[in-house]
Structure 1
């Protein structure tokens, strides 16, 4: 029997273990290479079917009007797809969210929320879309959404949608929230952004891990220099955390992370983080936790 609700659905954060900008397409989108790593910290969503066809967000999200929320846009996109395929609207749904991840942090929170929404409603509505079909449906909403539906550590290319599974260390991360929200568009529009980093391969990344056993040392984040210039708290967090390992920014910022081989090592650094910042630890995930739910 199909459930009438799906509660406690995780929407985990991601880290970009490196992020290279290799060029720019004619339509303005940048060509990237990165490795996406899921971690065990994120938002939590709850879905309850309604007696009508309305889709409602029943939680307030500061600074995000309901009509602009990727959660709502994803739900309505899937609802329209179900109507197109079946000729009938599926039941409406009330969506509640427990927001944990900061906005403008480079952790993929909004994209992860949208991906979890697509996966959960695909089950509740018995829509029957494959993972690949859900990835394609979500891509126009955000380039990171396909990764969260893909749901494994991934080497990504293109605008982030061309994904291949890749192995990465089972490690812990200390993450610092520098207290600023970094607008992605502002970083990608910067004149001094590096846009011609040489292409690498999965083999380059994997070889580095095998030889160096160093998850934080491969490549760099090409967006970090721009974000650090425009947002000094990002630069300060990179400098401080860099005393304990190879620290770098994730995504377009603002959060900064460093990998550690054990939870004890992460705890030892976490307790030293200056109180001016919010900081936490998280463990690497090899698979999206929604896979167990679905």
Structure 2
């Protein structure tokens, strides 16, 4: 894939950072170090942030529109670029802008996807030619979801999120609602009411197995607005929370069916429709 297809007249590359949905999320145990053992299917969707970057020759990493309240040096995208510099000795830098539409604290992996897009883009634009596996091994230092976005395909995820098996991606549409609450993931995982003993699944029975999101009951009790959105969307199909929330979604077979639902969305709710992606748009930026 030629990066020039993403190049803009001002020399910046405008690169997609897609969201993901957890089609289910089971907590099957807990390690002695406190990390939870999970199983999930991660599905990419075509709702994306846009990462705009331009290569610099001076080695500086400059964030031109940092997110309010987040110091530029703490931003995952800057940390991703710095990680590549440190690991490879590359003396190039970047200027960065982010067009952010994915909700923060929504369970759709926005920050992790942004960081993965930076890693994939700089791998090509800095001519590093790193393998996908190497990027994944380094990316986990930035966040547990980063390796999935580098993996770049629909995956059955296990362990603490580090083990991925590619699974078929169905062509389907989603209505995604965003309750206006920011869910702190550690608070959900630490809740004493969280069940941690769901029986493990094997890949070959995924299509026929009964699944759920084990975090949903805890999150919706703590944040009633999540339950309100689940109840509304549940009128039209099986509604489920993604990740630790707050976003909730339902699957539909066609764009028309999804549009019919979103057209009825109450004024006080926010949502969008999205289509499944079988592969990350920048998949070919790593081998």
TM-score (norm 1): 0.92
Map 1:198-237 to 2 at 5 A.
198-207=199-208, 218-237=210-229
Distance in 2, Cα, partners of 1:152 & 1:227:
27
* 1:101 alignment partner in structure 2: 102
**In structure 2, which of residues 35, 50, 54 is the aligned counterpart of residue 29 of structure 1?**
35
Map 1:117-132 to 2 at 5 A.
117-132=118-133
Matched, 1:78 2:52: no
Is the contact between residue 18 and residue 219 of structure 1 (CA under 8 Å) also seen in structure 2?
Answer: yes
Shift of 1:169: 1.8
SS of 2:153 mapped into structure 1: coil
Distance in 2, Cα, partners of 1:288 & 1:63:
29
SS of 1:18 mapped into structure 2: strand
* 1:269 alignment partner in structure 2: 261
SS of 1:206 mapped into structure 2: coil
* 1:41 alignment partner in structure 2: 47
Is the contact between residue 80 and residue 142 of structure 2 (CA under 8 Å) also seen in structure 1?
Answer: yes
Distance in 1, Cα, partners of 2:155 & 2:246:
21
Shift of 1:72: 1.0
* 1:287 alignment partner in structure 2: 279
Distance in 1, Cα, partners of 2:173 & 2:68:
30
Spell out, residue by residue over 1:56-81, the C-alpha distance to the aligned partner (whole angstroms, 9 max, x if none): 11113133221221111111001111
* 1:215 alignment partner in structure 2: none
Aligned residue pair count:
280
Is the contact between residue 57 and residue 72 of structure 1 (CA under 8 Å) also seen in structure 2?
Answer: yes
* More displaced stretch, 278-287 vs 119-128: 119-128
Distance in 2, Cα, partners of 1:10 & 1:46:
9
**CA distance change for structure 1 residues 2 and 194 in 2, over 3 Å: closer, same or farther?**
closer
Spell out, residue by residue over 1:145-190, the C-alpha distance to the aligned partner (whole angstroms, 9 max, x if none): 1100000000000111100100132100000001111011111111
Distance in 2, Cα, partners of 1:91 & 1:60:
20
Is the contact between residue 57 and residue 91 of structure 2 (CA under 8 Å) also seen in structure 1?
Answer: no
* 1:211 alignment partner in structure 2: none
Distance in 1, Cα, partners of 2:196 & 2:285:
40
Is the contact between residue 2 and residue 126 of structure 1 (CA under 8 Å) also seen in structure 2?
Answer: no
Runs of 5+ unmatched residues, structure 2: none
Distance in 1, Cα, partners of 2:73 & 2:221:
33
SS of 1:222 mapped into structure 2: coil
Distance in 2, Cα, partners of 1:230 & 1:206:
31
SS of 2:169 mapped into structure 1: coil
Shift of 1:95: 1.1
TM-score (norm 2): 0.94
Spell out, residue by residue over 1:222-249, the C-alpha distance to the aligned partner (whole angstroms, 9 max, x if none): 0001100110100111111011101000
Spell out, residue by residue over 1:81-123, the C-alpha distance to the aligned partner (whole angstroms, 9 max, x if none): 111xxxxx32111011100101000000000001001000111
Shift of 1:292: 5.6
Is the contact between residue 120 and residue 285 of structure 2 (CA under 8 Å) also seen in structure 1?
Answer: no
Distance in 2, Cα, partners of 1:248 & 1:291:
28
What is the RMSD of the two structures over their aligned residues, measured on CA atoms? Answer: 1.7
Matched, 1:249 2:249: no
Map 1:68-217 to 2 at 5 A.
68-83=74-89, 89-207=90-208
Shift of 1:132: 0.6
